[in-house]
Amino acid sequence: MKHIKSLMQKVGKGEGGFTLIELLIVIVILGIIAAVVVLNIGGFLGTGVKEAAYMEKDVVQTAVLAAM
């Protein structure tokens, strides 16, 4: 309990802490990074689905040709 009181006293003396602007800047930067990551992952997933579809098409085409 003494530890908490000493921390509160330090904060009350005007020491340390981030301003609202600093916190907002960090949140905006993290949001931009998250958006870039999500967009890149979406691109990779879309490419994988296309490749899988092309492979399945080739398998079906080979099976049709073999059945003739």
Domain locations in the chain as residue ranges = 21-67
What is the pLDDT confidence band of residue 64, given thresholds at 50, 70 and 90?
confident
Coil, helix or strand at residue 40: helix
User: Does residue 54 carry a pLDDT above 90?
Assistant: no
Contacts of 17 (CB under 8 A, 6+ apart): 11
Q: What is the pLDDT of residue 29?
A: 96
Coil, helix or strand at residue 16: coil
Please give the structure tokens belonging to residue 67: 């059945």
